[in-house]
A and B are shown apart, each in its own frame.
Chain A
Amino acid sequence: MSHATIAPVTRAISPSAIPLHDILPWAIFAGLLSLVAIYFVGAEQGATSIFEGMYVHEFVHDARHLLGFPCH
């Protein structure tokens, strides 16, 4: 608080910024999990299938159409 200088907006990294190495493990773990979840809502048993059949596709059918994923 002793310096009243304002750093250039594009360079300023606030002291409250969370260090990248704190974020990375969570980003990998939860990021992958989230992408898998989006895959099951958006594409499983459509373009590609992990499980056989059409149950997942039919179950989330309306969500797939209304969320804008390619469907039929």
Chain B
Amino acid sequence: MVPALLMRGMLIGILAGLLAFGFARVFGEPPVERAIALEGAPSHSHGGGDTADTHGAADEPELVSRDVQRGLGLLTGTVVYGAALGGILALVFAYAQGRLGAIGPRATAALLALAGFAVIYLVPQIKYPASPPVVSSPETIGPRTALYLSMVLFSLAAAVAALAGGRRAARALGLWNGAILGGALYLGAVTAAMLALPAVTEMPAEFPAALLWDFRLAAVGTQAVLWAALGLGFGLVAERRLEAARGSGLLRAA
């Protein structure tokens, strides 16, 4: 059953990645292009050795053309990301299915995808939001990546702990109160982490606010499309597979 779910998760992930690519291409690329145009350079390349001027030089040779970046490159990125998340979702689903109480496979998958979107994407983005090309300094990519990863891992750990705490509380206080307590535990923990972690303040004051809004809205939308397609699509095929297995009494085989 696990390999069957895993394969379906990854295939649905590829499909979700394609949909995310479509959304990103239509809504994400215009603000990306506008941000790059602000620099006055036709391409965004990092090839130069002079770090003070890695962005502005128009005469630098392009390693990858803008057409490839916004086409095949964007497609590859979203599809690989989708397939990987689809595989992970399938594995978590394999464990959660039948252990979350009286909800079916479709609801389990939808719930897991919603939780995944919130915990590993949306909440970390509140502290370290996506930034358009050009505005961030290449020298700080290391610490910025480390901070973002810490925020993602902390949010994930807090969610797992809050789920355990909430389930324990639900036994004593009932499901409603247990869920509220679990949610409050999670929000309290991630709020504390956001206050404790240093801020990244690299956005130039003169960067157009409307452009930043368009970019970030498109970025959130891209992930929302991906996770929604993943949760709903995977739930559908997983339920069919589980029902087929139940019908033939071969749940643990194959």
Which A residues contact B (CB, under 8 angstroms)? 6, 8-20, 22-23, 26-27, 30-31, 33-35, 37-38, 40-43, 46-48, 53-55, 57-72
> What per-residue 1/0 map shows which CB atoms of B133-171 lie under 8 Å from chain A?
110111011101111100000000000000000010011
| Interchain CB contact (< 8 A) of A40 among B3, B28, B80 | B80
What residues on B are CB-neighbors of A37 within 8 Å?
80-81, 83-84
Q: Nearest Cβ in chain A — how far from B169, in angstroms?
A: 9
Residue of B nearest to A38 (CB): B84
Q: Nearest Cβ in chain B — how far from A35, in angstroms?
A: 7
- The answer to whether residues A63 and B98 also contact, given A30-B87, A71-B141 and a CB cut-off of 8 A, is no
> What per-residue 1/0 map shows which CB atoms of B86-111 lie under 8 Å from chain A?
01100100110111011000000000
Let me know if A62 and B46 touch, CB within 8 A: no
What residues on A are CB-neighbors of B73 within 8 Å?
58-63
CA–CA, A46 and B141, complex, Å: 6
B15 at the interface (CB under 8 A from A): no
What residues on B are CB-neighbors of A68 within 8 Å?
121, 125, 129-130, 219-220, 223
Q: Which 9 A-B residue pairings sit nearest by Cβ, starting from the closest?
A: A63-B77, A17-B98, A47-B145, A14-B98, A68-B130, A34-B84, A9-B101, A58-B64, A60-B77
